[in-house]
Amino acid sequence: LRERKLIVQIIPFENRRQILVTHDATESERIDMMRRDFIANASHELRTPLTVINGFLEIAQAQPDLDQKTRAAHLQLMTEQGHRMQNLIGDMLTLTRLESIDYPLRPEPVDMQAMLRSLLQEAEVLSAGKHSFSLAVDGPDITGSNDELRSAFSNLISNAVRYTPAGGKIQILWQNGRAGPQLVVKDSGIGISAEHISRLTERFYRVDKSRSRETQGTGLGLAIVKHVLLRHHGSLGVESRPGEGSVFTVKLPAASVVAVAKD
């Protein structure tokens, strides 16, 4: 258990001493530490691609007569690193917005069939024919933020593709659960061992850094999922075994179901 740090003032009061707790520093220190960690991690993540880009720019300046083929290869690597930085900044801005009280959730009708079909098409592009997919939409339409839910579901589905080797299978199910509608994203991929599961939604937490980077991961996807679900009063469940695959389940409250008009 962490030691609690309370700031107390001792104030004399009618010949007795009265202790007044003015501030619980434990929570604010924890938030401060998280903020520092986030900035340190984000700076490190941005510095790596920038170092690569600067390195190739220096080569281009020092060796203007480089052959076409080498130049093209360098430009390709710089472009990839540029995209990496762009993805990272995009995810950081999304997370900041999701946490901001200035951006209250604006619920609107969400057409689940249309959203999941279009996410499936995106996943097929990402997979480039290397996986087989199935989609079953049996659940109801809901209310929520289209943009936020799309981004959460997209992160789960693209993770399923990115962490499943070629030849694997990805199943997407939208169904009525016991307590409300739920999205199940099931893959036959590399899986996750038990000790990592509780930390997956931490910012920049990765089981395997190099695999995450190879597949354009920012390390912020599941943190975004967590925050979107918090705002929608939903939850995320993970079941996984290394080498056998993973099942990510998003549960949304029954209250989010769009009421069907009775005639």
Quick one: which of 206, 226, 227, 231 contacts ligand ADP (CB under 6 A)? 206
Asked whether position 142 contacts ligand ADP by CB under 6 A, the answer is: no
Quick one: which of 151, 159, 182, 256 contacts ligand ADP (CB under 6 A)? 159
Asked whether position 217 contacts ligand ADP by CB under 6 A, the answer is: yes
Residue 38 CB, nearest distance to ligand ADP (Å)? 14
Q: Where are the alpha helices (DSSP H) in 136-260?
A: 146-162, 194-197, 209-214, 221-231
- Give strand pairing partners of 238: 248
Asked whether position 151 contacts ligand ADP by CB under 6 A, the answer is: no
Alpha carbon 108 to its chain centroid, in Å, reads 22
Assign 37 to helix, strand or coil: helix
How far apart (Å, rounded) are the C-alpha atoms in residues 80 and 145? 31
Residue 243 CB, nearest distance to ligand ADP (Å)? 11
Quick one: which of 58, 99, 208, 239 contacts ligand ADP (CB under 6 A)? 208
Q: Using CB under 6 A, which of the segments 67-75, 121-129, 176-184, 186-194 binds ligand ADP?
A: 186-194
Asked whether position 219 contacts ligand ADP by CB under 6 A, the answer is: yes
Of 233, 232, 234, 207, the closest CA to residue 221 belongs to: 207
Asked whether position 212 contacts ligand ADP by CB under 6 A, the answer is: yes
Q: CA 245, 248, 253: angle at the middle one, nearest 5?
A: 160
Is the Cβ–Cβ distance between 246 and 240 less than 8 Å? yes
Alpha carbon 209 to its chain centroid, in Å, reads 15
Residues across the chain: 263
Residue 26 CB, nearest distance to ligand ADP (Å)? 27
Asked whether position 187 contacts ligand ADP by CB under 6 A, the answer is: yes
Q: Using CB under 6 A, which of the segments 32-40, 71-79, 156-164, 169-177 binds ligand ADP?
A: 156-164
Quick one: which of 94, 182, 246, 256 contacts ligand ADP (CB under 6 A)? 246
235 CB-contact burial (10 Å; exposed 0-12 / middle 13-18 / buried 19+): middle
Task: Using CB under 6 A, list all residues that contact ligand ADP.
Answer: 155, 159-160, 163, 187, 189-192, 200, 205-208, 212, 217-223, 246
